[in-house]
Each structure stands twice: as structure tokens, then as C-alpha cells.
Structure 1
Amino acid sequence: MSLIPAHRQQHSLLPDFTDVWNSLAPAAGLASMFGTHLLRVEDTVDDGHYVVRAEIPGVDPDNDVEISVQDGQLTIKAERSEKHEEKGRSEFSYGSFVRTVTLPQGADEDAIEANYAKGILTVLVPVAEPTSEAKKVQVKKGE
């Protein structure tokens, strides 16, 4: 059992903010003002790793996905541009997506790994178990 808290969202009767933003932003012109959609993610702590998963179908992970970490914040950015054509009919979807999550205490920012398969981006961040012991600090005698 892990003692590291995961940033979990509980199911509630209220809609997810991401759903509200993505539905209202285009209608209100906010998407063009801010230029991005919020990226839906799920996060857990599993087997000594903080795991962040994002569903981003239709992107090329080599060219369209950027993951960065700074000051305990993990940021995932993605750009999607898809076009489907069938018998004189075409349909496209595009947009940029971004999401920043706070890494748990003890996260090893230098050992982060990411994998993209079947439209799911998985980011693994090794995390050390927090110590519950108090550390003693020696007091030095001044002159």
C-alpha cells in the first residue's frame, strides 16, 4: 500500500471543469483567446510511480507532444490535426491541448519516462515513499 497521495477526482453530480471549459470556450470565443483546450488526464500512484494518463488520439508523439517538468509541475502539451476524407466528404478536427499537474512530494524529476500507445499517453514518475521519522538537527555552539 502506498502512502503517497494521488490527485484523484471523485465522481460527483457536478460536471468536470474540463467538460465545461471545452463546451463553453468555443461558443464564447474563449478558445481563440486562450488558444488551447484542457487536456483530460487521470492520475494514480502505482508501484512506486506517479502515473499520469492522457487520452490524445490522432497525434504523432514525436512531433505533436511535448512534456516538460519545472518546479514540481509536469506539463503535457499536444497539438492535433486530423482530416478524414470519404467519397467527396471530408471531416477534420484540430486544436492544441495543455494540462499541468503538481507532482507529489518525493518525485524524481530526472527519471520521468513517457510512452504513447493506441492514443494513450502514459507518463511515469518514480516517487520515493515519504519518511515519517523526524530528522534531528544538531545545534552547534557559537563562539
Structure 2
Amino acid sequence: MRARTPVAAAAAVGALLAVATPATAADGSKPARTVAWSAGHESAGAAGERWMEQPGDLVISGKLSNTGEGCYAVWTRFVNDFAPGPLRKQAEVCGAGTVDVHVRQAYRPTTTGRLTVCKGTEDVKDCGPWQNITSWPVNPD
């Protein structure tokens, strides 16, 4: 029975990767299978799509918009093998306007990630809810 456990685990991981890693379109555009994401706080909101690219990168693309005054930022945190990585500011906007959000992160089956929008650009003390950005599988074609 012990001999079967590694084989079953390897098969399960292989199946997960097959579902979670669609190839990039031949012309370099985003693939047909993507997952929508969104987050917001007060007068700012961020939204876009995420997908997997070979050889194992998670790509997050979208926009951060603010309709009011003040500065807002999109922050991410990834955890690899239960080890939390640093908080990273990915985009910021001050005053009314819109900016691009583009993140590329190495992804393994043990990677989890979250994203939020925070007031200000220096820390994550005043933020909206953290959103999971590594839940799978991606939407079917």
C-alpha cells in the first residue's frame, strides 16, 4: 500500500497541473481560459483577469481605478510551501484616474496568493477584503 501513495500523489498533482496551466495563445495574447478577479476599498476598485502561462507563471492583468481623492494601491502576498512571502505593492493611483495592474509570479501547486486594495501607498493598514487569486480550476473555454 505504501508503494501506491507516491504514485497516486504524483497522478493527482499531474491532473491539477493539466487543469491549471493553459498554454498562452500563439500570438502572445492572453489565453482563452482566464479567471476574473476584483477587489475594492472606498472609492477605489481593481479588476481584471488571471491565467497560467508556461513554464509555470501566474499572470494577473487588470486596472486599478479611483473615482475620489487620495491615493490607493493594489497589494499582493504569495505563500510558497507554507512560507509567506513579502507584501508587494503592484500599482498605485492618486486622485481620480486609472492605472494598469500587471503581475507575474512563479506558481507551483503549493503556491497561494491574495490581493487587496488599500488606502495610501505605504502600507496595508486600511484595506478592503483580501481576495484569493490562486483558486482553480480556470474557467473552461
**What's the TM-score, normalizing by structure 1?**
0.30
Higher Rg: 1
More strand per residue: 1 or 2? 2
Q: Which has the higher helix share?
A: 1
**What's the TM-score, normalizing by structure 2?**
0.31
